[in-house]
């Protein structure tokens, strides 16, 4: 394992780990020797300036990108090849930036589909046959998940007719319906208001009773309030990891973000356009 792997709390055994992963796209080293571990019930945040490799790392964890080098392990056992369709088998669920809801299905049906994927994957052994009684159980479970997120009133609505924040919650419900042991969230706060972000933060903390969460996120406020540990990427490498307070004060992190802000400011100045500096 690389020396800069984000360390777990002493005594914590990892649920999921990534060892020495490298990804190249042509001449671009998107990830170089990245290692991390996620312990049960913890929230790990991955941050970094634009182009740092966060999305690539997320895609490796989901099986969308196959690394040229490195290994992934689940509960100490090596995963030979991660495939998106097999994540559910381990009890891993994810939400993507693009939400991926089916527009012509109601919110409830979208969540039931998520539950079915897990039932078929064998994650819920008792539901694997999916008879009609089981369908009813899945629907019941989906309704309970919508209620948990406070959006049961939208169960019969189609996603395109709903505000973005509700659609985001529907996508989260679809992931949560499986009661995952690890939840992977890609920019869960994007497009949310301050209040909605606070609500999301409280929910992520509440979920630690049953699940570990790894989130890739730009909103520093959310990361600093909900994460137990934070890992910082820059140019595909881990430049810092530790508690939010440790990472916030790390000179390498400040330099990486400052450099990024300066680059953006120069681009904005030369292009004469307003761009969010992240
Ligand atoms: N499919 C691809 N083909 C070529 N280069 C890519 C590809 N995907 C990512 N990259 C490059 O790999 C590097 C890491 O990109 P990545 O999207 O993972 O960063 P990021 O931290 O998620 O950035 P952002 O915060 O802007 O979303 C960047 O230099 C990017 O241009």
CATH number at residue 191: 3.40.50.300
Q: Is the CB of 275 under 6 A from ligand 1?
A: no
Q: Is the CB of 244 under 6 A from ligand 1?
A: no
Task: Report the C-alpha gap between 36 and 94 in whole angstroms.
Answer: 18
In degrees, rounded to 5, the angle at the alpha carbon of residue 85 between the alpha carbons of residues 162 and 35 is 100
Pair (40, 161) in one structural domain: no
Dist. CA 9 → ligand 1 center (Å)? 30
Pair (173, 184) in one structural domain: no
For the chain, how many residues are written? 278
Task: Report the C-alpha gap between 152 and 143 in whole angstroms.
Answer: 7
Ligand 1 atom closest to residue 216's alpha carbon, by position in its atom list: 22
Dist. CA 112 → ligand 1 center (Å)? 33
* 10-residue stretch averages of pLDDT, the chain, 278 residues long: 50 83 93 94 93 92 90 86 75 78 88 72 52 70 89 91 89 87 89 87 89 90 92 94 90 79 45 32
- What value of ipTM does the predicted structure carry? 0.96
Pair (26, 164) in one structural domain: no
Beta strands in 69-174, from DSSP E residues, in sequence order: 69-74, 77-79, 92-95
Query: How many structural domains comprise the chain?
Result: 2
Please say whether the dihedral angle defined by the alpha carbons of residues 221, 226, 227 and 233, taken in this order, is positive or negative. negative
Pair (157, 197) in one structural domain: no
Residue nearest to atom 3 of ligand 1 (CA): 25
What pLDDT score was predicted for residue 234? 94
What pLDDT score was predicted for residue 2? 40
Q: What is the pTM of this model?
A: 0.82
- CA-CA-CA-CA dihedral for 83, 89, 91, 95, to nearest 10: 40
Which residue is it, tokens 């869960």? 188
Are the CB atoms for 262 and 275 separated by under 8 Å?
A: no
Dist. CA 56 → ligand 1 center (Å)? 6
Pair (149, 188) in one structural domain: no
Residue nearest to atom 30 of ligand 1 (CA): 51
Q: Is the CB of 94 under 6 A from ligand 1?
A: no
Where a domain ends, among 159, 177, 195?
A: 177
Q: What's the domain range around 173?
A: 100-177
Alpha carbons within 13 angstroms on the beta-carbon side of residue 157 total 13
Pair (217, 237) in one structural domain: yes
Q: Which residues have a Cβ under 8 Å from the Cβ of 233 and sit 6 or more positions away?
A: 31, 34, 46, 47, 48, 52, 53, 54, 57, 239
Task: Report the C-alpha gap between 169 and 72 in whole angstroms.
Answer: 29
What pLDDT score was predicted for residue 119? 63
Residue nearest to atom 18 of ligand 1 (CA): 53
Pair (25, 75) in one structural domain: yes
Pair (30, 164) in one structural domain: no
Pair (13, 111) in one structural domain: no
């Amino acid at each position: 394992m690389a020396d800069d792997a984000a360390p777990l709390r002493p005594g914590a055994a990892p649920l999921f780990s990534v060892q020495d992963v490298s990804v190249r796209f042509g001449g671009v080293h998107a990830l170089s020797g990245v290692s991390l571990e996620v312990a049960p019930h913890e929230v790990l945040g991955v941050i970094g300036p634009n182009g740092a490799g966060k999305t690539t790392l997320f895609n490796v964890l989901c099986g969308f990108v196959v690394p040229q080098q490195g290994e992934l392990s689940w509960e100490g056992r090596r995963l030979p090849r991660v495939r998106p369709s097999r994540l559910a088998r381990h009890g891993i669920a994810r939400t993507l930036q693009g939400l991926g809801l089916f527009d012509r299905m109601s919110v409830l049906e979208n969540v039931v589909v998520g539950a079915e994927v897990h039932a078929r994957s064998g994650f819920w052994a008792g539901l694997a046959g999916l008879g009609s009684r089981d369908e009813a159980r899945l629907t019941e479970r989906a309704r309970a998940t919508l209620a948990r997120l406070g959006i049961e009133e939208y169960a019969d609505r189609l996603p395109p007719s709903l505000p973005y924040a509700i659609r985001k919650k529907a996508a989260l419900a679809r992931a949560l319906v499986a009661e995952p042991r690890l939840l992977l969230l890609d920019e869960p706060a994007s497009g949310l208001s301050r209040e909605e972000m606070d609500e999301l933060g409280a929910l992520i903390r509440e979920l630690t009773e049953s699940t570990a969460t790894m989130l890739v996120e730009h909103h520093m406020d959310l990361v600093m309030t909900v994460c137990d540990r934070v890992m910082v990427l820059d140019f595909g490498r881990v430049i810092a990891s530790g508690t939010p307070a440790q990472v916030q004060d790390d000179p390498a992190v400040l330099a990486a973000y400052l450099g990024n802000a300066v680059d953006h400011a120069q681009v904005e100045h030369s292009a004469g356009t307003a761009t969010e500096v992240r």
